[in-house]
Structure 1
Amino acid sequence: MSDLHALVDAHHHVWDLDRRPQPWLDEPGHAPIRRTFGPHALRCEATRPIDGRRLTRTVVVQCLPCVPETRDLLALADSDPLIGAVVGWADLASPAIGDVLDDLRAGTGGRHLRALRHLVQGESDPAWLQRPEVERGLCAVRDRDLGYDILIRSHQLRQAIELAWRVPGLPLVLDHAGKPPIVSGGLDAWERDIRLLAAHPQVRCKVSGLVTEADHEKWTVDDIRPVWEVLFDAFGPDRLMFGSDWPVCVLAGGWNRWAATVEELLVGCSAAETEAVLAGTAGAFYRLDPTRRKEGPPCC
C-alpha cells in the first residue's frame, strides 16, 4: 500500500449477537461490549487521525472457532470496502482443512481471505501448535499463500518460536505482541522470547491489544512505552503494524485513545518508519488492494 495518507487498522472484530452469540462476552468485565458491533460503529468511533491519517482500510479478525462466522466475515468484506482482508478460522487439525480453505476462497468474498487464526491462548496443551495434525493444517495454509495470525499469551511464545522454525515458509503475524504482562511489569521473559521470535524474518507483529493487558482504568502511555521500545528494536518498523483490537479496546479507553497513544509513541520516527507501522506492513502482509475505494455507509 503506497498511499501516504493511508491508515490501516490491522486488527478489529465485528459481531451481531442476534445472528451469532459470543459466549466469551459472558465472562466478567465484558459488559461494556456485550452488544452488537459492526463496521458502521467502527466508522463512528474511529475518528481520530494518526499523524494526519484517517482510517482508510481494516483487517477483520475472527472471534469464534466456526467456519460459518468466517463465511459471514468474507461476505461482509465483499460488501463493505472499508474491510480489505479477513483473518478467518478453519479446523487446522482436520484432514479436510485443504478442502475447507478451497471452499471458503471459492465462496462469496473468498478473495478477501488472507490468513487464519486459532484461539491458541485457550489451549491447555503447551505444544498445541506442534501437534502433527496442526502442523499439517498449517502447511495447507502455507501452500495456499495464506498467512497465520498467532494468538497466544506470553507464556506460550515458545510455541510460536518453534512454529517459525519448523514451518519457515508460512507468513506469521503475532497478535497483540504476545500479550505482555504489562500490569505486573515483569517483562524480562516476554522480551527474551520476543527477540527470539523476531529473529525469524517471516514473522510480523501487531501493535495491538496492549491496553487491555494494562490496568484498564489507570494505564498511561508510559505503561505501554517499554513494550513499544522492545518491539521497535526487535522487529523494526517494517515488521510492525498498527491494530486497534476494537471493540475489545473499548474496555480500556477505546479506539481514539489508542490512536492518540500510538501517535505519541511514533514521535521521533521518520516518515518511512511511520508509514510502515500505520499502513505499509499490514498492506504488504495482508495484500491489501490500494485501488479499492474506501467509501462505505456514511459515518455518524
Structure 2
Amino acid sequence: MIFDTHLHLIDLSALRYPWLSGVPALNRDFSHDDYAVQARRVGIEGAFHMEVDVDPADIEAETGHVKALSHRKDSLLRGAIASCRPEEPSFAAYLEAQRADPFVKGFRRVLHVMPDELSEGALFRENIKRLAGTGLTFDLVVLPHQIPKAIALADLSPDVQFVLDHCGVPDIKGGSEHPWREHMAEIARRPNVTAKISGVVAYADAGSWTVDTLRPYVEHTIGCFGWDRVVWGSDWPVCTLGGGLATWVAATHTLLEGVSADERTRLLSANAKRLWNF
C-alpha cells in the first residue's frame, strides 16, 4: 500500500489561487472525489493535503476546507501540511493556533518562486526555530541553486524536521544534474532532512520521458538519503502535467524493481507513518 504525502486539491469556488492564472492546465477544480477514484485504483491508502499557495488571506480557510473534507465518509485525507509565512511577525501566534489542531502535520512556505533572500531573513529563521519540539515538519520546495539556502535552514534549526520536496526539483527536461547532484549529497548529510520522492514527472518532457529518464534523479536521491529518510508523494494534480497519477505510480514501481520488500514499504508508507507519528 502507498501513503501519499503530497496531494493538492483545488477548489476555485472556495479559495483563491493567484498563481494558477499562469498555469492554464491546472486552473480548474481538482477534487478529492476525482483523486480518490484514481488513488484507490493504484493502492493509495491515505494522503496528506499539501498547501496550494493560496491567497495569503485564505491560508487558514484552506486548512479548514480540507479538514472538512477529511470528515466525509471514505475520505483519504489524514492530515494537512499547511501554508505559512515565517517572514511575518504574526507567525508565532499562527503556529500556536495550528498546534492545537492535530489535523495539521506540518507547514510549507513556497520558496522556489520567491527571491533567494526570503529564507535568509532573521525573522524567517527565528520563526522556523519555533517548530523545534512541536512535532510539526517544514517542507522545503527549492530549486537546485537554492538547496544551499535549505541547508542553511537545516543547520540553523537542527531540532526541526525538514522534508525536501520533489527530489530537490531537478531540471530533468534539460538533462541537468549539476550542481543538483552535489547539493543533494550535501543536504543529505543533515539527519534532520528527509527527501520526498515526488514531482519529478512534471519536470520531465511530458511527451518523451521514460522511467530511465527519471532513474538517475530518483536513484541518486534515495542513494544520498537512504531508505529510512525518503517518503513518497503524488504531487497530484501537478503530476498530470507529466502523465498523471497512475503513470507516476507505475513508474515508481518500476524504479523500485529489485529492491527488498522492506525498502519498498519504507519508501511508500512506513517512513511517513513514523515521521508524522500516525
TM over 0.5: yes
Deviations 1:182-212 (A, max 9, x none): 1111202101000100001111111101011
Q: Give the equivalent residue in structure 1 for 2:14.
A: 19
Q: Give the equivalent residue in structure 2 for 1:74.
A: 67
Q: 1:206 aligns with which of 196, 199, 205?
A: 196
SS of the equivalent of 2:28 reads coil
Tell me the amino acid that sits aligned with residue 158 of structure 1. Answer: P
Q: 2:88 aligns with which of 94, 99, 103?
A: 94
Q: Does 1:131 align with 2:121?
A: yes
Q: Percent identity?
A: 30
Which range is displaced more, 110-119 or 140-149?
140-149
Q: Does 1:112 align with 2:141?
A: no
Q: How far has the Cα of 1:264 moved from its partner?
A: 0.2
Q: How far has the Cα of 1:48 moved from its partner?
A: 4.2
Q: Give the equivalent residue in structure 1 for 2:3.
A: 8
The whole-number CA distance in structure 1 between the counterparts of 2:130 and 2:64 is 19
Tell me the amino acid that sits aligned with residue 274 of structure 2. Answer: A
When residues 48 and 233 of structure 1 are mapped into structure 2, their CA distance, relative to the original with a 3 A threshold, is same
- Using CA pairs below 8 Å that are at least 6 residues apart, which structure has the higher relative contact order? 1
Would the aligned equivalents of 1:13 and 1:60 in 2 still touch at CA under 8 Å?
Answer: yes
Q: 1:232 aligns with which of 208, 222, 232?
A: 222
The whole-number CA distance in structure 2 between the counterparts of 1:102 and 1:164 is 22
The whole-number CA distance in structure 2 between the counterparts of 1:34 and 1:151 is 21
Q: How far has the Cα of 1:99 moved from its partner?
A: 1.7
Q: 1:184 aligns with which of 174, 182, 191?
A: 174
SS of the equivalent of 2:102 reads helix
Tell me the amino acid that sits aligned with residue 23 of structure 1. Answer: P
Q: How far has the Cα of 1:16 moved from its partner?
A: 0.8
The whole-number CA distance in structure 1 between the counterparts of 2:67 and 2:107 is 12
Tell me the amino acid that sits aligned with residue 280 of structure 1. Answer: A
SS of the equivalent of 2:13 reads coil
Deviations 1:85-121 (A, max 9, x none): 2100122122232221222343xxx211111000111
Would the aligned equivalents of 2:154 and 2:193 in 1 still touch at CA under 8 Å?
Answer: yes
- TM-score of the two chains, using structure 2 as the length reference: 0.93
Q: How far has the Cα of 1:252 moved from its partner?
A: 1.3
Q: How far has the Cα of 1:243 moved from its partner?
A: 0.7
Would the aligned equivalents of 2:99 and 2:134 in 1 still touch at CA under 8 Å?
Answer: no
Tell me the amino acid that sits aligned with residue 108 of structure 2. Answer: R
Tell me the amino acid that sits aligned with residue 35 of structure 2. Answer: L
SS of the equivalent of 2:49 reads strand
SS of the equivalent of 1:127 reads helix
SS of the equivalent of 2:107 reads strand
The whole-number CA distance in structure 2 between the counterparts of 1:94 and 1:33 is 29
Would the aligned equivalents of 1:93 and 1:133 in 2 still touch at CA under 8 Å?
Answer: yes
SS of the equivalent of 1:84 reads strand
Tell me the amino acid that sits aligned with residue 113 of structure 2. Answer: G
Q: Give the equivalent residue in structure 1 for 2:250.
A: 260
SS of the equivalent of 2:44 reads coil
Q: Does 1:39 align with 2:28?
A: no
Would the aligned equivalents of 1:71 and 1:104 in 2 still touch at CA under 8 Å?
Answer: no
Which range is displaced more, 38-47 or 190-199?
38-47
- TM-score of the two chains, using structure 1 as the length reference: 0.86
The whole-number CA distance in structure 2 between the counterparts of 1:120 and 1:193 is 17
The whole-number CA distance in structure 2 between the counterparts of 1:62 and 1:249 is 15
Task: List gaps (5 residues or longer) in structure 2.
Answer: none
Would the aligned equivalents of 1:169 and 1:202 in 2 still touch at CA under 8 Å?
Answer: yes
The whole-number CA distance in structure 2 between the counterparts of 1:235 and 1:26 is 36
Tell me the amino acid that sits aligned with residue 15 of structure 2. Answer: R
The whole-number CA distance in structure 1 between the counterparts of 2:232 and 2:202 is 15
Q: How far has the Cα of 1:79 moved from its partner?
A: 4.2
The whole-number CA distance in structure 2 between the counterparts of 1:95 and 1:283 is 32
The whole-number CA distance in structure 1 between the counterparts of 2:119 and 2:63 is 21
Deviations 1:62-97 (A, max 9, x none): 012433223322333344641112100122122232
Let me know the Cα RMSD of the aligned residues. 1.6
